[in-house]
Amino acid sequence: MGLRRRREENGRRARLAAGKKIDVVICTVDRLKRDAEVKLLIGCTEEEKALVCNFHNDGKYMGGILIRRGSIYRIDTRAFFGFA
């Protein structure tokens, strides 16, 4: 994909997301790749949120937590990162 087309696609996505609130954040850790990511879900149904969360918790080396707007979760990070 060319740079111009990529910019157009990013602009289109930004316009689609304009005016919507981020209601879920998914924090993922991949122990095999030694990588961590934060994913913002905008305008997803409850079923789609569950599907994404289940996908990230399906593997042996990957885990994720779903954080909803207005909710504070305390997790055992040692267990989450596989050190417990």
> Distances in Å between the alpha carbon of 48 and those of 1, 11, 31, 32, 34?
27, 24, 24, 26, 26
The 10s digit of each residue's pLDDT in 24-80 is 888 988 888 999 999 888 888 889 888 888 888 888 888 888 888 776 555 555 565
pTM (2 d.p.) = 0.59
pLDDT at 23 over 70: yes
pLDDT at 16 over 80: no
Instruction: Enter the tokens of residue 38.
Output: 């934060």
